[in-house]
Amino acid sequence: MQIEELLEHYLEEVPLPASVRVAVRTAWPKFLKFCQQHDLVQVSEVERHHVEDFHKDLLWRTHEQGQLYKANSVDQFVRRARQVLRWAFDQGWVTPDPTYGLLLPRPVQPQVRLLSWEQLQAVLAFPDGSTAIGLRDGLVFQLLAQTSLGPAQVLTLTLDSVRELELETATVALLEQYIKEARPALGGQGDRLFFSRDGGGLNSTVVRLRLKQAARHLGLENIPMRVLRKSYLATLEEAHRRLSFPP
């Protein structure tokens, strides 16, 4: 088995959540490039020291924008490559296991500053609901806050899968309005739920930009997408606590 063929075999055989598939597809080309630079062709040629060297290489190598990869990115790239290689070992395509004993320290996670309920509501209400783009962005924000789906999973929702989610009544109404009015105006084809202005698939870069615009308008610091969900859950927990232990 050649290394450049391994990923497609893995994705065909192993059922993965959509977000994990995206992460694996993002990480594997970097490992494949590393193998090509070290004249590794067959999966059977990969050894533990190659995986360790791949990790070290990522720590000092710059990406396309000329900057070093963030610690979290390096961690994910190596973990996803290790995930595929472990499967290759289970299939008998490489032995011994090139990932055996490989320990990766978890990068320190920065503390996330949560939004207050008023701030969260202001962010969710920021998109202009009188436009197709605004309806789309407003629905994306609501889904990021109200569901446990990650950004990649929200952006790959379909017309069928979104109806399986448990949403607040107002969000269901927003969904129906978006599907009826905004989605056709964006010109997308197929069963995908979200589209960009040109009819292509909506990506996380656009969503981050919209959140950055909302934060700037409201005088807030930049808002990572995960903060919407964390803030939403925190406000629900606080409301539950107050109902359980009234002053």
Query: Residue type at 72?
Result: N
Is residue 154 domain-shared with residue 237, that is, in the same domain? yes
Is residue 159 domain-shared with residue 232, that is, in the same domain? yes
User: Is the residue at 199 inside a domain?
Assistant: yes
Residue 45 has pLDDT above 60, yes or no: yes
Is residue 68 domain-shared with residue 150, that is, in the same domain? no
What is the spatial distance between Cα 75 and Cα 62, in angstroms, rounded to a whole number? 15
User: Is the residue at 161 inside a domain?
Assistant: yes
Is residue 136 domain-shared with residue 215, that is, in the same domain? yes
Predicted pLDDT of residue 131? 95
Task: Give me the number of domains the chain comprises.
Answer: 2
Out of 71, 90, 109, a domain closes at 90
Mean pLDDT within 92-115: 79
pLDDT digits (tens, 9 = 90+) for 144-155: 999 988 888 899
**Domain residue limits at 21:** 3-90
For 182, counting Cβ atoms within 10 Å of its Cβ (0-12 exposed, 13-18 middle, 19+ buried), the class is buried
User: Which of 80, 90, 96, 87 is CA-nearest to residue 44?
Assistant: 96
Is residue 227 domain-shared with residue 122, that is, in the same domain? yes
Out of 50, 71, 90, a domain closes at 90
Predicted pLDDT of residue 224? 86
Q: Confirm if 152 and 18 have CB atoms less than 8 A apart.
A: yes
Tokens of 82: 């290790």
pLDDT digits (tens, 9 = 90+) for 196-238: 888 888 888 899 999 999 999 999 888 888 899 999 998 888 7
Query: In three state form, how does the secondary structure of 124-136 look?
Result: HCCCCCCCHHHHH
Is residue 141 domain-shared with residue 59, that is, in the same domain? no
Q: Confirm if 94 and 43 have CB atoms less than 8 A apart.
A: yes
Is residue 125 domain-shared with residue 235, that is, in the same domain? yes
pTM of the model: 0.57
Please list the helix, strand and coil fractions of the chain in percent, rounded to the nearest 5, in that order: 60, 5, 35
For 65, counting Cβ atoms within 10 Å of its Cβ (0-12 exposed, 13-18 middle, 19+ buried), the class is exposed
120 Cβ neighbours under 8 A, 6+ residues apart: 145, 228, 231, 232, 235
Domain harbouring 139, CATH code: 1.10.443.10
User: Is the residue at 112 inside a domain?
Assistant: no
Out of 90, 106, 137, a domain closes at 90
Is residue 7 domain-shared with residue 126, that is, in the same domain? no
For 208, counting Cβ atoms within 10 Å of its Cβ (0-12 exposed, 13-18 middle, 19+ buried), the class is middle
Predicted pLDDT of residue 67? 80
